[in-house]
Structure 1
Amino acid sequence: MEAVYEKFLNPGSEFSPMPFWFWNDRLDKKILRAQIEDFQEKGVEGFVLHPRMGIPKETEYLSDKFMDFVKFAVEEAHQRKMHVILYDEAMYPSGAANGKVVKKNPKFASRGLFATKIDELPDVIEIPFNDEDDRLVAVYLAEKGKENNTVNAERISCIFPLNAQIIRMTDKKASILQEEIDRFFEVKDRQKEEYCCIILKESYTNGTIRGVHAEQDDGEKNAPRSADLLNPEAVRTFIELTHERYREVVGQYFGNTIFAMFTDEPDITGRNADPGCIAWTGHFERFIYQAGLHVEDLPGLFFHIGEKTAHIRQTYQKVINKRMRETYYIPIAEWCQANQLYLTGHPAKSDDIGLLEPFTLPGQDVVWRWVAPEDEKGVTGEHSTAGKCGADAARHYQRQRNLNEYLGVCGIDNSWNLSASDMKWYTDWLAVRGVNLFCPHAFYYSVNGKVRSHERPPDVGPNNVWWPHYNHFSTYIKRLSWLMTDSINQAEIGVLALNNYLPWKTAKYFYQNQIEFNYLHEALFVDGQLQLKDNCIIAGDQSYRILVIDEIEISEFDQVVKQLLTEFIKNDGKVYIISSNREMEELEGVTYLPPDDMSSFKKHFLASRYAELTGESSNIRLTKLKKSGKIYYFFTNEGETNYKGTVKFFNDMPSEEWNPWAGSRKRLVQNDNGQYFLHLPYRESIIWSVEASENLKNDDRPGSAKLIEIDPILQPSNLSKHEWSRDSLVDWSMCEEYQYYSGTITYHFSFNYHGEKVDEVMVDLGDVYEIAEVSLNQGESEVKMWSPYMLQFPGEKLIEGENALTVRITNNSANQMDKQSLPSGLIGPVKVIGSVHSN
């Protein structure tokens, strides 16, 4: 066990955070080298090389000059035994090569399907072609619905292409003549005023990406054109321009220093596409028809046409994603595999789990504070599934690692106001869900000017006030990544999901009751990734005896899913459908539960818990892992208050506690009822191991001790502006000279002590905003980045006579960067508390 603990305590560099490194200014090799060195000194042993807005035009993306900097940075990393992930775009979304794909062939620009609805029918219907590559897909005459954006599904008549002869076509327009329209209304008692004309036309979307050079951002005149990612020729061009260029320059480092290529939320229509379009490519309707839809179903992509509308749109989305896998993700994955690289990154949507199969290192992102500590954002809404989306795809496709790009624009109000406390919350939120490669967004090469400093802020690395303390985070991330790698969570519940939708409502109940589950998405069934063994569904190393369908109609799944569920039920497997709609298609042997019936939830699901927690525990998350034959429990506190309670396990009793932040351990002790006491303060996490070291002593301190409380005296100092000169503790933001200051100020305290020898010393700082570094009598300092701001020192640090207490407080970068007057500094009250244990 000692060897295992040592690996946990000092994990290898492969578990390092891999931050986006924004190259966003005029590049200089001396600065590149200095920043790489700085990264490594802070325990960051790799980076994602990310071209970003702010690179001068003379350093053109993929040019010899640009690639010379790439080669320099990679070689520097190689010499330091660091790790590199290449990023395949400038800037995002991926697939355009900064517009070079479309420049090479304008016909490779993004395509879309546009709908036009004419409510008042003219004598002659004219359909203009604004571009020579516009193509008429279909024309309909349809009875108007009772509400806007609806048509009568029973009264949709396809005029084109089913009756193509009535369309007059030229290079610039198509027309339906008056006599043809009149003939239509001569039959079936049709009334012209009750009908509309729907025109579906394929055209360029005029979508763009965000570029890296001046005037290339959203809405600017040189914003690079996005490419048609459903066109294999366009994607082949993207690979030739981008991937092959990197191979040409730094290919010798593929498979060693460079281990992956990152593709970032490719967007089929592009950003800022012309309004009203949906993703399309040339003659894409033929793929729609092959999936079982008819030409008269196409209006349902834009208008509500009755009960079949949802089925039409879900079928369309399946066809789009299938095509996207075939034309974009798979070719890039095959190129990566042939060149000894992993494909990593993530699709556009938080729950696009079906697109992750080609990824050898599946990923997702958590950005824009869509997930956050407040307002239950961690367990509600579509984005609350993003952590498990990549992690569960990796579990079931048996990928060793999964990545999450996180912290981008996650400050409060999307500002620089992201605290170290919140950064810890996001890290824990991901880890307990199974993420094991952390990609912080982002470390900025430069924050020169708002075009850089406020481009998707904040910098979560070198340009943030917490950077001097970043070693704490990098070490913590490595330990969690080690724990979550090559480990199997012991969930016995599988929650069924569509390829593009992960349900979250029942998942919320599971999280809040420490019931572990994983998402099983449709493609696993269809692609034969699942096996039935006795009364369990086997997916890779995972085994499920309970399946839950959360408010998804059975009819939305492929027939293969229904067939396997039927066999599973026959083998005494348990299937629960959570639904308030009992008119949905029924499945024999299934248990139906209303979504608000908590008593039934308790009856059927609480038995799948690993342990029973007392007290208010709805914010405690728990995963149980098997790693190299050993069992671990990982607890996190996602709430805003401290947790104190007891834990009673049903089997696999833990024996030892590991603190991944502090790097400490102690033996666990059960009470007479077989319970363990769990104190998990705000923002804390803990690991409990079933196996314990034989040499580890019991934590035999008594439950009570004599406390000696001391009030240290503040000693103002005028030595520098970075030392506190006032004779009382006040909020910096209330001081004119510090109102918009971000940085560190040192406070000096002194006190006399004449008394008995203490066993421990606790420094209680009271209220702090936001990071405290404390030393007692010039000894080694302790750091606390979130409340409660209580720091512990060995008893011998308290000496007889005069004692010196030094407190360095670092506030939030938003004060300076956003001119926010946030609470800052040491507010107190400050107390020193000595503990004397009785024998």
Structure 2
Amino acid sequence: MPPPTPDGPVGPYAFVFWNDDLDDAAVLGQLREIAGAGFVGVTLSARVGLGRRVGYLTAEFLRLVRVAVDECARLGLAVMLYDEASYPSGSANGGVVARDPAFAARCLVPVTRDVAVTDSGPDGGDEAAYWRPALGRDLDARLLGVVARPAGDDTGSRVAVLLPVHAPGLVRLALPTGAWRVTAVFDATSGGTIRGAHAEQDDGSALAPPAADLLNPDAIATFLELTHDAYAAALGEHLGTTVVAMFTDEPFLLGRGHRPLARPYTPGLEAEVAARLDVPEPEVLRRLPELWDSGDGTRPGGTDPDATGFVRAYDDAVRARLHRVYYDAQAAWCAAHGIALTGHPAEPDDLATAGRLHWPGQDTVWRWVLPGDTVGTSGLDGPESTAPKVAASAARRRGAPAVTEVLGAYGWRLSLDEARWLLDWYLSRGVTTPVLHAFFASVRGGRAFESEPDLGRWNSWWPHLAPLVGYVRRVAELLDATPPVWPVGVLSRPDAAPSGPVVRALLEAQVDFGYVDRDDAAAAAGTDLVLVDPDDGVPDVAALKDDLRSRALPVVDAEPAAPGLRAVVLAGGAGYVVFHEGEERVRTALQLPAVPDDACWWDPFADTRHPVERDADGRVLLDLERRRTLALVRAAGRPVVPAAPALGRRLEVAGWRGTVDRVVGDADAIADDPSAVAPPELRLGDWSREPALRRLAGSVRYAAEVDVPDGAGATRLDLGVVGEAATVRVDGVVVGHALTAPYVLDLPAGTLRPGRRTLEVLVSNSAANYYEGDRRPSGLIGPVALSW
């Protein structure tokens, strides 16, 4: 088993972007807002746009980090440090290569020539013709080998010829007659860069920082010295207390924007490939052209999970070296300083690499995964769909929390409805430490459109984020205290976890699982896991459930079937959590292996408890709206109230008056017609239809008086259509939040006492109306009604 990992609080962290000129007041103010929203911690990161006055890893930058961490200690926020200026990690904003140009990321690049050899020599010329292959004007490129293979012959690897190279880099084309493809393989710098800390250091800029060689131990030692040691010197006693982790972000072996056809390399790698294949090094050189037989082939991480034969052996050697040189060196540094190494690898389905982290993680950004079942963005199909289970499975193997970076670059059109779904998607699969991307220090200039949206003060629904954060925190703490029981293990390649039909069949039948590395399947042999091999096709789920029951493993059945329902069985008989991943209301009966004594339904969003109802067969009845979660747990003496009032009477609430409470962006630039005048009060309806408020992103506070009759008791408040988040007060007291449709609140008896009461609804719309010019429905549109 991996060694024990350092502890830290689970629950939501705020990914903080320092993306402009900063001072103490700006840093402290943002942290206090984040603490007030209920986050357990922050991930502090430099980001594109950081001011040159502050700099990166300068004395001023490190002083501000110390100011921030001191304040986090006072506020009770845990801190993850971020190990790079923007991303991908490993280059110290170009400082590694500045220390020694030999530390730049390296690669193999082919230069090819087709040669037709006749009786009179190559290309009909002198039989002693020479070729001097060159990689443009690259003075430092090293010719590693030249290989001739019969052209158009897929058996060429067996008859390939390694040609001798003569000074000053000439190759004699003394080949048998026929058509040949001659490939010169060069060791060269990849030309890749990272996104730097400052505005002029982004992709495509001549000042973008060069990527470092992540396979070179000396380069990584320099990276640790420049970054990690600098943090340690600045923060001292905070490491291992307030500072709980170091976040490393999708290291790319080649960097961004690298040379075409580049393959990861570092000098000496051929010896490791030779050892894997048990062949001499010249045999590796002879076979290098096979790296390009299938075209471009690699992913950002630099390898191809579909490769076979020699290419697979090469890629395995690259990954093993990356694990040893990059991840293990960082993990050792972190362990020596009492903190965890976390973050995520470059690929979403890379189980083995995620497992090198003390707190394994993954990321879901750029709208890669969305609610619904659309091809390309489904949460059940494709490599991106594996990310939550990859992180959770690697974490389970380590006995550690699983981490995700989520919501980033989803754009200003990201809704709280989508955010809730994505967070549930991760929680339901066992990830307990989501890092919410991101909280911008600034939206000045183009900063508003760099990996947007901001989730903080620059977003119109910032006033409503705290309830969502509280929900995530409560569920994460429950899952951490009573980890999900996974009765099934799905066999996985180490660098390509499976998705699609097998995973879909299990999850849609409420069979929970974890991934098991095929290369480490022996680790599951001593457990109760029932192994499922995707190579055997889609399992018969009914037969699988019978097998699980025969082994006394927990099984959840839903009748009628509820494919959108995700069921989590909690350890130690603590109960169950059900998440709704679909779009339609679910009404079903759950056959559960056991129900806790004193059981109740706990709504972790509202933090309320309700009675459990059963049918005549003893099955637990479930009525679950979209974007809702319920946990079947012990009441433990906490008050249990009816889930919904008995509905017999309905009263429509009229007379609403709304006033603008908060504006995001430039309040003078929100009208289509500058001469338009906003009404003094808003009524029910879509405020974006008012010409003077066309691009208003922010909040409007609505109020209405209602006469509550005697005997109303428990009441249902239906807000109708809302654009797009609401917080409800009764006589000035917050009684609930509605962030997703249906916008309905069940108010327990005593909330609306008889007599005249004031209802207030703070509604915030989509920030896309301001930032993107959208016209998304905005406001309390209604109708609003009370029922009891």
1:138 aligns with 2:150: no
- The partner residue of 1:71 within 39, 45, 66 is 66
CA contact (8 A) 1:714 1:747 kept: no
Q: Is the 2:464–2:725 Cα contact (8 Å) retained in structure 1?
A: no
User: Offset of 1:730 from its aligned partner?
Assistant: 2.8
Matched, 1:85 2:44: no
Residue aligned with 2:520, SS: helix
Q: Is the CA contact 2:111–2:133 (under 8 Å) kept in the aligned structure 1?
A: no
Please state how far the C-alpha of 1:267 moved relative to its aligned partner: 0.9
Equivalent AA in structure 1 for residue 238 of structure 2: Y
Q: Given the alignment, which residue of 317, 322, 325 partners 2:320?
A: 322
Following superposition, the deviation at residue 104 of structure 1 comes to 0.6
Alignment of 1:733-772 (within 5 A): 733-752=688-707, 755-772=709-726
Query: 2:679 matched to 1:673?
Result: no
Among 771, 774, 786, which residue is 2:728 paired with? 774
Name the structure 2 match of 1:345.
Answer: 343
**1:574 paired residue number:** none
Cross-structure match for 1:126: 132
| 2:247 partner SS | strand
The CA deviation string for residues 652-697 of structure 1, in whole angstroms up to 9 with x for no partner, is 56722221111112342322211111111110111112x453x467
Alpha-carbon separation, structure 1, partners of 2:579 and 2:409: 23
What is residue 363 of structure 1 aligned with on the other side?
Answer: 361
Per the alignment, residue 624 of structure 1 pairs with 569
| Structure 1 match to 2:576 | 633
In structure 2, C-alpha distance between the alignment counterparts of 1:667 and 1:648, rounded to whole Å: 17
Specify the SS of the correspondent of 1:325.
Answer: helix
The answer on 1:220 being equivalent to 2:218 is no
2:298 maps to none
SS at 2:154's partner residue? strand
1:735-782: CA deviations, max 9, x gaps? 2122211111123334455x5421222221111111112234444342
Q: Distance in 2 between matches of 1:284 and 1:706?
A: 72
Question: Would the aligned equivalents of 1:717 and 1:724 in 2 still touch at CA under 8 Å?
Answer: no
What pairs up with 1:176-187 in 2 under 5 angstroms?
176-177=171-172, 180-181=173-174, 184-186=175-177
Is contact 1:724-1:746 (8 Å) kept? Answer: no
Aligned AA (2:132):
E
> Deviation of residue 364 (structure 1)?
1.1
Partner Cα separation in structure 2 for residue 326 and residue 720 of structure 1: 55
1:254, 1:341 within 8 Å by CA — same for their partners in 2?
yes
Corresponding residue of 2:592? 649
- The separation in 2 between residues aligned to 1:697 and 1:217, in whole angstroms, is 55
Structure 2 letter corresponding to 1:128: A
Residue number in structure 2 paired with 1:729 = 684
334-343 vs 286-295, greater mean Cα deviation = 286-295
Partner AA of 1:257 in structure 2: T
Give me the identity figure in percent.
30
Identify if the C-alpha distance between structure 1 residues 275 and 750 changes in structure 2 by more than 3 Å, giving closer, same or farther. Answer: same
2:108/2:262 contact within 8 Å kept: yes
Q: Which residue pairs with 2:333 in the alignment?
A: 335
Counterpart of 1:677, as a letter, is L
SS of 2:458's equivalent in the other structure is coil
- Assess if the C-alpha contact under 8 Å between 1:138 and 1:159 holds in 2: no
Q: Specify the alignment match of 1:18 in structure 2.
A: 13
Instruction: Identify if the C-alpha distance between structure 1 residues 90 and 758 changes in structure 2 by more than 3 Å, giving closer, same or farther.
Output: same
Q: Is 1:393 aligned to residue 348 of structure 2?
A: no
Cα separation, 1, equivalents of 2:356 and 2:646: 59
Tell me the alpha carbon deviations over residues 466-489 of structure 1, each in whole angstroms, 9 at most, x when there is no partner.
222222122212212211214343
Match of 2:555 in 1: 610
Compared CA separation, residues 705 and 208, structure 1 to 2 (3 A) = closer
Q: What is the CA distance between 1:367 and its match in structure 2?
A: 1.1
Instruction: Give yes or no for contact 1:44–1:474 (8 Å, CA) kept in 2.
Output: yes
Q: Give 1:232-247 correspondences, 5 Å limit.
A: 232-247=217-232
Q: TM-score, normalised by structure 1?
A: 0.83
- The answer on 1:687 being equivalent to 2:671 is no
Report the AA paired with residue 723 of structure 2: Y
The alignment partner of 1:99 has SS state of helix
Contact 2:545 2:555 in 1 (8 A): no
Alignment partner, residue 669 of structure 2? none
* Structure 1 residue 269 displacement after superposition: 0.5
Query: In the alignment, what sits opposite 2:603?
Result: 659
Following superposition, the deviation at residue 70 of structure 1 comes to 1.1
| Partners of 2:341 and 2:358 within 8 A in 1 | yes
CA displacement 1:759-816 (0-9 Å, x = unmatched): 2222211111111122344443421101111122344455656544332211111111
**Contact 2:38/2:466, CA 8 A, preserved across alignment:** yes
1:496 offset after TM fit, Å? 0.9
The residue matched to 1:242 in structure 2 has which SS? helix
Secondary structure (helix, strand or coil) at the match of 2:200 reads coil
Q: Tell me how far apart the structure 1 counterparts of residues 430 and 149 of structure 2 sit (CA, whole Å).
A: 50
**AA in 2 matched with 1:678:** L
- Give the equivalent residue in structure 2 for 1:591: none
For 2:145 and 2:730, the matched residues in 1 are separated by 78
Task: Report the 3-state secondary structure (helix = DSSP H, G, I; strand = E; otherwise coil) of the residue aligned with 2:649.
Answer: strand
Is this contact kept in 2: 1:96–1:238, CA < 8 A?
yes
Query: One-letter code of the match for 1:152?
Result: D
Counterpart amino acid of 1:683? R
1:379-407 superposed Cα distances (whole Å, 9 cap, x missing partner): 111011100111111111222x1211111
RMSD: 2.6
In the alignment, is residue 713 of structure 1 matched against residue 654 of structure 2? yes
Letter in 1 for 2:412: W
Tell me the CA shift for residue 311 of structure 1.
Answer: 2.7
Q: Deviations over 1:14-65 (max 9, x none)?
A: 3342211100111110111111122112212421110001112232211111
TM-score by length of 2: 0.88
Kindly provide the amino acid, as one letter, of the partner of residue 440 in structure 1.
Answer: L
Asked whether the equivalents of residues 366 and 409 of structure 2 are also in contact (C-alpha less than 8 Å), the reply is yes
1:399-423 per-position Cα deviation (integer Å, ceiling 9, x unaligned): 2x1211111112xxxx211111211
Gaps of 5+ in 2: 1-6, 117-122, 124-128, 296-305, 549-553, 664-677
State the partner residue of 1:405: 405
Change beyond 3 A, Cα 1:810–1:338: same
**Shift in CA distance, 248/797, structure 1 to aligned 2, threshold 3 Å:** closer
